[in-house]
A = this chain, B = another copy of it.
Amino acid sequence: MASFSDEKYHPGLSVDCVIFGFNSNVLKVLLLKLKGTDTWALPGGFVKSSENVDDAAIRVLRERTGLEDIFLRQFQLFGSLERHDRAHTEKMIEKGIINKADIPWFNQRFVTLGYYALVEYSKVNEPTADYISEFCQWYPIDEVPELMLDHSQILARAYEELKEQVSNHPVGLNLMPAQFTMPELQSLYETILGKSLDRRNFQRKMLSYGILRKTGKRQNGKAHKAPWLYEFDEENYASALQADNYRGI
């Protein structure tokens, strides 16, 4: 078990990651179950004294999913006084989850920086637990259990950010497999937004942005009844991410 001190880690600061994945038309999030408890939590960690804060989030994501170079964005610092909860620390000590030597560390007031990540579900072979948790598991967004501290609030805000992102910027590069059909992409958008979209409008708008490339192949190598496969044009996609005239979907 790791030991903490002000020397090795930035005091009073943590990062928490809301990791979204998309699978079988369901939006899921990656959660950790704390050892010997029924308590679930977002993957998170502390920031090393020798580490950029964004790199701490990248490290957490890599340690839990094995993935790098994926869409990861900070969206809010949670800095209210109310999030400090000594009872929670005491439960963690009681369950032997944290060392007694680390009590002063955990009893500090922490502010936490929320990040959200979009990962291609199929690429995460085995989500990996950290030292305070038993296992790590995908949960459908509609079935998430109660989370420790203010993690439910952090998740809810991340979900709002994702909806905002999908309304005003292209989304999909990190959530879809390399090749996909238009109905599959539409399904991603519908799942995130929680509403149906008109098929023809969706296709027309998506193609108008120039971020998709037709592969010339059909799904499952089927004949002309099967939908066309597309892939993202990563260069145009990157430009659209920056553009202030992208009108979303």
List chain A positions with a Cβ less than 8 A from chain B: 6, 10-13, 47, 49-54, 74, 76-77, 79-81, 109, 111, 113, 163-164, 167-168, 193, 244-245, 247-248
Contacts and interface: CB of A to CB of B under 8 A. Distances in A.
Given A11-B11, A74-B77, A247-B247, 5 more contacts: A50-B81, A74-B76, A79-B113, A164-B168, A167-B245
B12 A51 contact: no
Contacts of A163: 244
Contacts of A193: 244
A206 B126 CA distance: 50
**Copies of chain A in the complex:** 2
Contacts of A77: 53, 74, 77, 113
A190 B53 CA distance: 35
Contacts of A109: 10, 49
Contacts of A47: 79, 111
A39 B27 CA distance: 49
Contacts of A74: 76-77
Contacts of A13: 12-13, 111
Nearest to A57: B79
A74 to B, nearest CB: 6
A167 B51 CA distance: 34
6 contacts: A12-B12, A52-B80, A52-B81, A53-B111, A74-B77, A193-B244
